[in-house]
Amino acid sequence: MSDELKRLAAERAVADVEPGMKLGIGTGSTAEHFVRALGQRVRDGLDVIGVPTSERTAELAKAEGITLTTLEEMPELDLTIDGADELDPQLVLIKGGGGALLREKIVAAASKRMIVIADVGKLVDVVGAYPLPIEVIPFGLGATWKALEACLVANDLPVKMALRGGDEHPFVTDGGHYIIDAHLERIPHPACLADDLTAVPGVVEHGMFISLATKAYVAGPEGVITVEDTTVDPET
């Protein structure tokens, strides 16, 4: 059922893609449904060009016949469509379950608009139940870890972290970094935590996406609903 809902949300988002658009193309199971649906529209004659957020997405997009480029060649995008591991009604997102959060955030920030696609199980009142991915540089990991612990204490959050993949075989991102997953339960003040995490030396990026998404299509048993962030001007 969840996979079918992901497909419905993805197909709804494809309807927002217009000819000539420069697209950011997300990563993850829901985004893969979008890539396949977009590929069908491309084969039907839709002219678009995309920037993938991971090597996995790039491979799938190429297989679907979607023309790709890079942010070096095309630094400004019209629209990014991507999934989320969690989102709240204000469109604060947690992303990075698939390990592509750094590229995903760079691409989203380069876009005029971002549409999130998700099944209803990802929509929550307050984000944090899904572990927050924090991408870190391998060098100095011990020092970064201690600084992150202090950061969580200062934000009155649980100090419960795990290196993704474990110490012997840590997960390595496309950028050559590690990911620490923070199990925080609830993040009542995401903007404050985001600022504090960004200030920690050794942190490359974190998985909270704030003021980036302008709309979400969330699919449930009764259909697809639209969640919009009215605080973001889609023309800026």
pTM, 2 dp: 0.93
Q: Domain containing 170 — which CATH number?
A: 3.30.70.260
Q: Is 185 a catalytic residue?
A: no
pLDDT digits (tens, 9 = 90+) for 210-225: 999 999 999 999 999 9
pLDDT digits (tens, 9 = 90+) for 91-148: 999 999 999 999 999 999 999 999 999 999 999 999 999 999 999 999 999 999 999 9
Asked if residue 95 belongs to a domain, the reply is yes
Residue 156, token pair as written in the block: 């009155």
Residues 48, 90 within the same domain: yes
Residues 44, 87 within the same domain: yes
* pLDDT exceeds 80 at position 226: yes
CA distance 106 to 140: 24
- Which residues are part of a known binding site? 27-30, 82-85, 95-98, 122
Residues 90, 141 within the same domain: no
Owning domain of residue 108: 2-124+210-221
CA distance 95 to 104: 8
Residues 93, 12 within the same domain: yes
Catalytic member of 11, 104, 135, 205: 104
Asked if residue 232 belongs to a domain, the reply is no
Residues 22, 100 within the same domain: yes
Residues 194, 105 within the same domain: no
Residue 85, token pair as written in the block: 């591991």
Q: Domain containing 113 — which CATH number?
A: 3.40.50.1360
Residues 39, 99 within the same domain: yes
Residues 173, 105 within the same domain: no
Query: String of b and e for 13-43 (b: at least 16 CB within 10 Å)?
Result: bbeebeeeebbbbbbbebbbbbbbbbbebbe
- Which residues are part of a known binding site for substrate? 27-30, 82-85, 95-98, 122
Parallel, antiparallel or unpaired: strands 77-82 and 22-25: parallel
